[in-house]
Amino acid sequence: MKKLYGTGVALVTPFKRDGKIDFEGLEKIVKHVVENEVDYLVVLGTTAETSTLKKEEKKNIIECVKNINQKKLPLILGIGGNNTEDIIEKIKNINLDDFFAILSVSPYYNRPSQEGIYQHFKSIVNNTDAKIIIYNVPKRTGSNILPDTVIRLANEFENIVGIKEASGNILQSYKIIEKKPISFSLISGDDFIALPVILGGGDGVISVIAQGFPKKVSEMVSLAKENKIQEAFSIFYKIINMIELIYEEGNPTGIKTLLKILKICNSYVRLPLIRGTSFLEKKIENKLYGKSNN
């Protein structure tokens, strides 16, 4: 079974001042990352502000990305939530022909036990032929998928093909890497620790910062996969401060502020998120164009 390697990009949803989707901005983003050597695209993930999007808007975003991508890169589609039955229905009612896999977040808010998490993903897999990538992001969901649960799912269900691991705990990633099947992908969901995770045997990253610096991040990940450690870290140290800045006022507020400065799309977000402050914008501009970046 084909695995996901390298650099995936968690696409934002650009908005206009009036709150409508900016499809021209979305086209610019997709072209920007596709032309700068990323390996795959994640559509309607957390970074896309999916929880604020209407059903019709999601459908239009999917069609827009598919039309621009023209099957150049694999696509991953975010379909997750905290109602197992509802997720199964959504998966059944969408055409997944153009998607490599579904990225499905661990149930949030209701904070299930490890057995509950296992049964949740088991139910999804038993009701679809689609490949599933688990998404573990405890700071957003309120619960952590422990390595033993991940390994159990990976060993029992062939269609669970990977995990986007965003616990921020390197040791947790290493424990999964140590015991996972060869065909199962461990993908870092955290820009800060992507490099050590890949060097420890991870398969790549689903990145936010790669939306701003696709070529740099793709090169860094490729060098890490080739075990060219010094070269990989030399790129990482050039972008580490920018990674800090884009998360300073939350995601996707920060990355949208960077994309605005790069003249790729506007920085508008939907409530309850708010736009990046002028202070953040100035900091990012200084880091991007200042002497420290030369």
pLDDT in tens, 26-37: 999 999 999 999
Q: Measured between alpha carbons, how far is 217 from 85 in angstroms, rounded to an integer?
A: 37
Write down the pLDDT at residue 293: 40
Q: Please classify residue 159 by burial: count the beta carbons closer than 10 Å to its beta carbon, then call 0-12 exposed, 13-18 middle and 19+ buried.
A: middle
Task: Report d(CA 138, CA 166) in Å as an integer.
Answer: 7
**What would you report as the CA-atom Rg of the chain, rounded to the nearest whole angstrom?**
18
For the annotated catalytic residues, the residue numbers are 135, 164
| Residue 102 dihedral angles phi and psi, to the nearest 5° | -105, 135
Q: Which tokens go with 164?
A: 């986007």
**In which band, very low, low, confident or very high, does the pLDDT at 3 lie, cut at 50, 70 and 90?**
confident
Q: Write the pLDDT tens digit of every residue in 143-178.
A: 999 999 999 999 999 999 999 999 999 999 999 999
**Mean pLDDT in residue range 184-200:** 97
- Mean pLDDT for the chain? 96
Q: Which domains, ranges and CATH numbers included, belong to the chain?
A: 6-228 (3.20.20.70)
Q: Is the pLDDT of residue 252 over 80?
A: yes
Q: What is the pLDDT of residue 290?
A: 81
- Say if residue 162 is exposed, middle or buried (CB neighbours under 10 Å; 0-12, 13-18, 19+): buried
Segment 99-103 mean pLDDT: 97
pLDDT of residue 4: 86
Q: Contact, 108 vs 82, CB < 8 A?
A: yes
